[in-house]
Chains A and B, each alone.
Chain A
Amino acid sequence: GDSVTQMEGPVTLSEEAFLTINCTYTATGYPSLFWYVQYPGEGLQLLLKATKADDKGSNKGFEATYRKETTSFHLEKGSVQVSDSAVYFCALRDSGYSTLTFGKGTMLLVSP
């Protein structure tokens, strides 16, 4: 079955540091890939997505590139802010279905 593996957290960074959160996946079809963010006390919000190989999703300074050859969708940001502190979830949706398969989430803590 489909699965998503994310690096374990927490990831602790100082403000303006570079961020990478690794995500790899296993899927039988041609999935769409997503990053969701969960701020403290809130539900999940879509951060970015990519629907086919080599697509780059981007939003709010975050980027991720769909790499089919390495089955990866790593999240990056060049300069994090304290307000980026949240839990980040990588997810996939296999072609033809609406069910999302989530990774376990990675907590990011950014200090001033």
Chain B
Amino acid sequence: EAQVTQNPRYLITVTGKKLTVTCSQNMNHEYMSWYRQDPGLGLRQIYYSMNVEVTDKGDVPEGYKVSRKEKRNFPLILESPSPNQTSLYFCASSSRTSGNNEQFFGPGTRLTVL
């Protein structure tokens, strides 16, 4: 089954404790992206990757890091989480062979930083 998976689905942590949210897709997509969803703000892009070893900042990259060492994986790293990073996070992927292809979203990771 074609899908985007994220782990963990729920995470409660404390300020300053480094964490990683994993994202994996099995569709051989070149493009992957991270979004955060906050009430009243919709989805905002954090980082995206056009292909392996190619990443770029989205609209709200501060406090986050990403890496794209393999095509299928695109982890989101919070080196020193803060309470304002409490949010719902989504990973997404799409193919770049056609400019209008659908983006497939993961189920989301709800992060709480105390």
Contacts and interface: CB of A to CB of B under 8 A. Distances in A.
A89 B100 contact: no
Range of interface residues on chain B? 20 to 34
The DSSP consensus for interface residues of chain A is loop
* Majority secondary structure, B binding face: strand
B61 to A, nearest CB: 13
A46 B103 contact: yes
A99 B45 contact: yes
Contact of A43 (B58, B94, B108): B108
Interface residues of A, number: 21
Given A44-B105, A46-B102, A49-B102, A104 B48 contact: no
A14 to B, nearest CB: 25
A86 B96 CA distance: 29
Interface of B: 4, 31, 33, 35, 40-45, 48, 50, 58, 90, 92, 94, 96, 99-100, 102-103, 105-108
